[in-house]
Structure 1
């Protein structure tokens, strides 16, 4: 694989990991979104990636989690039903934090590949100049 190919493949990986981080931040920011019991809860976002022919990855789409959510007894909430229940999304914060760490590490690894390939390309240019 050429230096430019390595940069291209790592760039596609960075894009997928960035989208994954975006989905995680969306999930975390809606962790406490309250809805009425007759409405759908916020649905967790999951990034679906697929390989690109010739190398690399791309985002194939976003999968949504369950809209069922979880019922919580909050009779003082203005959105509560006659039984005093409201609906929260079924998002596990520890799972989201674990995914965030994995996505950050993947992004960093791809960024390191881009940096190293760029440095190798610049070194080759310096050799050609001397």
Structure 2
């Protein structure tokens, strides 16, 4: 893997962690929302990542080397299948005909931990790009 390919890998990692941070922020922002029906209640969302190995595997199957590093791709964003919170609150203005309100299945503590993890992963990708840039600059200085 060449040094230039490392920029692609760390860049795709930063992009993926940015999506993760945005979905986590959305989950936290909607954690206290209330609805009068299950269908309209916010559900926690989480990104699904996949490494793009197809190109590398295809190239290596033919005996060659792809020269590509693994990059990260966001395959999609899925809703959590955890049950929603159903609360009896007949005096609430959003209560349904049976007196229930529905709250999202967002666990704020888990979301905060996920946000810290995504932030650290983003920082690590930045450090990898910086280290690679430094190595390239040193290599160019050696050629002078």
Give your verdict on TM over 0.5. yes
Say if 1:41 and 1:67, in contact at 8 Å, map to a contact too: no
CA deviation after TM superposition for structure 1 residue 31, in Å: 0.3
CA deviation after TM superposition for structure 1 residue 38, in Å: 5.2
Say if 1:73 and 1:84, in contact at 8 Å, map to a contact too: yes
Which ranges of structure 2 fall in alignment gaps of 5 or more residues? 57-69
Superposed CA deviations along residues 53-86 of structure 1, whole A, max 9, x for unmatched, are: 2411110001111385211233332111233321
Measure, in 2, the Cα distance between the counterparts of 1:81 and 1:72. 11
- TM-score, length of structure 2 as denominator length: 0.82
Name the structure 2 match of 1:20. 20
Task: Indicate yes or no: 2:119 matched with 1:113.
Answer: no
Name the structure 1 match of 2:42. 42
Which ranges of structure 1 fall in alignment gaps of 5 or more residues? none
Say if 1:69 and 1:89, in contact at 8 Å, map to a contact too: yes
- TM-score, length of structure 1 as denominator length: 0.90
Partner secondary structure for residue 59 of structure 1: strand
Q: 1:38 to 1:106 in 2, by over 3 A?
A: closer
CA deviation after TM superposition for structure 1 residue 105, in Å: 1.1
Root-mean-square deviation (CA), in Å? 1.7
Measure, in 2, the Cα distance between the counterparts of 1:49 and 1:32. 27
Structure 1 runs (4+) greater than 6 angstroms displaced = none
Q: 1:38 to 1:103 in 2, by over 3 A?
A: closer
